[in-house]
Amino acid sequence: MGWPTKLAFAALTLFNLALVLCGAWLALWTPVLFERERPQDQVMVVAMAIGIVAFPVVALICAILPWLLLRVRWRGVAVATAILPVAIAVLFVAVGVVAGHLPT
């Protein structure tokens, strides 16, 4: 494995750690989701809260795990693991943009 590959994994690791910090900040605000009492939205609110709280954990695991997978020479799995939080974050942003443009 050459230095460009290690540099790319280092950049992805730093980006994943930044996602951990952003996700942890969002996770601190999840109790606010439960302030409104509308029983018809409760399932969706709980699902969103679980996703928001689980994201920093997944991002942290995906920041550390690729380096261990590279040690055992599983390069493809390491790349997929490193890119997973980025893909989830892009999905979160896309859903937020679409939800922001829906009529109420």
Are residues 62 and 74 in contact, defined by beta-carbon separation less than 8 angstroms?
Answer: no
Are residues 62 and 5 in contact, defined by beta-carbon separation less than 8 angstroms?
Answer: no
pLDDT at 39: 67
| Angle 90-104-19 from CA coordinates, rounded to 5° | 20
Band (102; pLDDT cuts 50, 70, 90): low
Residue type, 28: L
Q: pLDDT digit string (tens) for 43-84? A: 878 888 888 899 999 999 999 999 999 889 888 898 899 999
**Residue spans per domain, the chain:** 3-100
What mean pLDDT comes out for the span 30-37? 81
Band (92; pLDDT cuts 50, 70, 90): confident
pLDDT at 100: 73
Please state, as a whole number, how many other Cβ atoms lie within 10 Å of the Cβ of residue 77: 14
What's the rounded Cα separation, in Å, for the pair 104 and 71?
A: 51
